[in-house]
Structure 1
Amino acid sequence: MTADHTLTVADLSLGYGDRTVIESLDLVLPPGRVTAIVGANACGKSTLLRSMSRLLRPRTGQVLLDGEQVHRLPAKELARALGLLPQAPTAPEGITVSDLVGRGRNPHQRLLSRWSAEDDAAVAAALEATDTVELADRPVDELSGGQRQRVWIAMALAQQTDVLLLDEPTTYLDVSHQVEVLDLLTDLNRTRGTTIVMVLHDLNLAARYADHLVALAGGRLHAVGDPHAVLTEDTVRAVFGLDCSVIIDPVSGRPLMLPIGRHHVAAPVDVS
């Protein structure tokens, strides 16, 4: 394994039962960058992420990490390189926050090895980064949805992988914590070089925080590249069936999508 892992999807087809969700997809995720996958509901975003983490075996094609098929790598070897935060994770009943976050260290444990100071430091840093230190001794099943989400992110951070896959990491979070989590992932990318691949529903947050956008439509790749090239009025119309106006965000300098609905649309100004 290299320090900058390259995650590649080659001629990938995925599905459940008789239903095909992803068909003949080719994609290269740039190492050391932040990638956001966007698209309408049921377009295959989460399915693609599940396959990248080998939770779902391809019907055809393959997912490669540094040229090796992820489904053939030893589980612990893969888990030391690649971490996943799924969309709706479940915790064992009665487990405390600190114990759950500590499970992120499992891939680093050897047979008969003891818990180390390095493990303590990784868990403490993950709790601090996600503002969950005060929750450490509380049972996870007593927390609010937003608190739980931050705890799950802490567990993913404690795993200390070079590639981190996140399926809707801002789910259940209020707008303040959404920004905090995305800032945290950006810090992780910039300070450690972690490759971040995340599914996001919010197009504007995706465009603000991602270096690389992937837009899926109907299980196929519709557009990929820099946010300025991908988040366009034509792409939003094709991928979401939505008319919109795209302007430059005065805060970030990134594209900002303004949806056009049937109501609350200002009348043109008469300049005559």
Structure 2
Amino acid sequence: MTTEHHLLVERLALGYGDRTVIDGLDLLVPPGRVTAIVGANACGKSTLLRSMSRLLTPRSGRVVLDGKDVHRLPAKQLARTLGLLPQSPIAPEGITVADLVGRGRHPHQGFLSRWSTEDDVAVAAALDATETSELADRHVDELSGGQRQRVWIAMALAQQTDLLLLDEPTTFLDVSHQVEVLDLLTDLNRSRGTTIVMVLHDLNLAARYADHLIALAGGRLHAAGTPHEVLTESTVRAVFGLQNQVITDPTSGKPLMLPIGRHHVTV
């Protein structure tokens, strides 16, 4: 693994049909760090991730990996460097957990190459890391939402890419499993130098686990930087339209956002 891959977007414009979602976006993903993308619903977080993994072609601008436009790279070459866990992945009907996780090894296999011991080791390690080894022989469509989410993350880990993009990886998980997944991604970053980019809805988990935050608003970059630089009361008001108070998290020392509604407020 290496931390030397550089992923950035330049003057990026994205949309669907007549609707523009992202307009004129420039940003740099810090290599070897954990980045969280935050923002209100429909601000373009998932759309940005789709374009960064070349699932969505830009209207203008480009996504650049190590100086090359990702839309001009051979698919298998890109898949050996950059992996994506989309928001709502769909498994083939009747596939087992082991087979699904094994699909993460496809980018590492040539046209005539066979399954290897290295592939077995990678799949076993991914299953073990996500605590899904006991599910290996189960069919994916028999699992709970939380179990399925961990299996999809295992497939992404088995791909063993230097950059990993995850769209809401804590979806369907209870709070204990959310923390376990984010701890797992942190371990992956610290032990292997994997660059992690993830979309998260929970601002406080994003601030606790990310080295770098990207806040989107109205299809544009509103703020980018460390959690202390980005998770401020003014940014939360501007991005989410929410009155709030930001304090220091006594556990992590990171900023902690407290939402303020119309009720249950001490005068």
User: Counterpart of 1:179 in 2: which secondary structure?
Assistant: helix
Partner residue in 1 for 2:147: 147
1:21 to 2:26 alignment: no
Residue-by-residue CA offset, 1:210-263 (whole Å, 9 max, x unaligned): 000000000000000010010000000000000000000000000000000011
Greater CA deviation, 110-119 or 80-89?
Answer: 110-119
Contact 2:62 2:69 in 1 (8 A): yes
Partner residue in 2 for 1:270: none
Residues 1-272 of structure 1 correspond to what in structure 2 (within 5 A)? Answer: 4-267=4-267
User: Counterpart of 1:196 in 2: which secondary structure?
Assistant: strand
| Amino acid across the alignment from 1:201 | H
User: Counterpart of 1:10 in 2: which secondary structure?
Assistant: strand
> In 2, Cα distance between the equivalents of 1:171 and 1:195?
20
- How many equivalent residue pairs? 267
> In 2, Cα distance between the equivalents of 1:266 and 1:252?
26
Contact 2:32 2:194 in 1 (8 A): yes
* Cα shift at 1:164: 0.1
* Cα shift at 1:266: 1.4
Residue-by-residue CA offset, 1:160-188 (whole Å, 9 max, x unaligned): 00000000000000000000000000000
Contact 2:3 2:194 in 1 (8 A): no
CA RMSD of aligned residues (A): 0.9
> In 2, Cα distance between the equivalents of 1:19 and 1:265?
39
TM-score of the pair, normalised by structure 1: 0.97
* Cα shift at 1:4: 1.7
4+ long deviations beyond 3 Å: none
* Cα shift at 1:111: 1.2
> In 1, Cα distance between the equivalents of 2:78 and 2:160?
12
| Amino acid across the alignment from 2:185 | L
Residue-by-residue CA offset, 1:2-53 (whole Å, 9 max, x unaligned): 7521001000000000000000000000000000000000000000000000
> In 2, Cα distance between the equivalents of 1:16 and 1:109?
34
> In 2, Cα distance between the equivalents of 1:195 and 1:251?
25
Contact 2:25 2:220 in 1 (8 A): yes
TM-score of the pair, normalised by structure 2: 0.99
> In 1, Cα distance between the equivalents of 2:195 and 2:187?
11
Residue-by-residue CA offset, 1:80-104 (whole Å, 9 max, x unaligned): 0000000000000000000000000
Identity among equivalent positions (%) equals: 82
> In 1, Cα distance between the equivalents of 2:219 and 2:117?
45
User: Counterpart of 2:80 in 1: which secondary structure?
Assistant: helix
* Cα shift at 1:112: 1.1
Residue-by-residue CA offset, 1:133-159 (whole Å, 9 max, x unaligned): 010000000000000000000000000
> In 1, Cα distance between the equivalents of 2:4 and 2:266?
48
Residue-by-residue CA offset, 1:55-84 (whole Å, 9 max, x unaligned): 000000000000100000000000000000
Q: Provide structure 1 residue ranges, at least 5 long, that are not aligned to the other structure.
A: 268-272
Residue-by-residue CA offset, 1:186-207 (whole Å, 9 max, x unaligned): 0000000000000000000000
